A and B are shown apart, each in its own frame.
Chain A
Amino acid sequence: ETGVTQTPRHLVMGMTNKKSLKCEQHLGHNAMYWYKQSAKKPLELMFVYNFKEQTENNSVPSRFSPECPNSSHLFLHLHTLQPEDSALYLCASSASGGGTDTQYFGPGTRLTVL
């Protein structure tokens, strides 16, 4: 898990708060991903970045705002979230954004929205 790190590991926030999740990969990869994992649901792909450019946004509400300043760092800025946004947020990276790549995941941030 040291290849992809995520902070914080746990986050509790109110609906009016603003917070950010951080992801860093030390693998020299060019693609980074944000996933949402809720109980009893498939892993939901939220955003994909390739060489710092966003290549995918799967109809994610605007209260989630990603930022990718370079190929090693990925942020997810959160504001005015809803209780149903409570989930495990996973970051992953891969050599490129393709489906033949192996993805390397971080440990996740457990988010609770009160």
Chain B
Amino acid sequence: SQQGEEDPQALSIQEGENATMNCSYKTSINNLQWYRQNSGRGLVHLILIRSNEREKHSGRLRVTLDTSKKSSSLLITASRAADTASYFCATPRGAGNTPLVFGKGTRLSVIA
């Protein structure tokens, strides 16, 4: 079934550095979403990028989508300790009105 796979599984950086996470998926999609989860909490939606968009920004977040490579990246600029969390990409499971499927996530640690 359709599923995003994030890479790397874990990432550790210093505060102020940029963090880049990648997501690959298997079949055609009409949108891709990124979510963040703080430890033991619910997921929080960050950004949605549609298949006809190549790049989208929201504050310190920049998301790109390359449908030819079936991949997306999430860049967090000037990271802060508060950005420490797991980040998930999510894609529709299939064509039509199907639910989202989430990957295993990238665990980001930002060290102060």
Query: Which residues of A pack against B, CB within 8 Å?
Result: 1, 4, 6, 33, 40-43, 45, 48, 56, 88, 90, 92, 96-108, 110
Q: How large is the interface on B (under 10, 10 to 19, 20 to 34, 35 or more residues)?
A: 20 to 34
Q: A42-B3, A102-B48 in contact; A88/B40 too (CB < 8 A)? A: yes
Q: Which residues of B contact A105 (CB under 8 A)?
A: 42-44
Q: Given contacts A98-B92, A99-B93, is CB(A43)–CB(B102) below 8 Å?
A: yes
Among all A-B residue pairs, the 4 with the closest Cβ atoms: A99-B92, A105-B42, A43-B102, A98-B97
> From DSSP, what is the main secondary structure of chain A's interface residues?
loop
What are 27 A-B pairs at a CB distance below 8 A? A4-B42, A6-B42, A41-B104, A42-B3, A42-B101, A42-B103, A43-B88, A48-B99, A56-B99, A90-B42, A92-B43, A96-B97, A97-B99, A98-B97, A98-B98, A98-B99, A100-B31, A102-B48, A103-B45, A103-B90, A103-B100, A105-B42, A105-B43, A107-B41, A107-B42, A108-B41, A108-B42
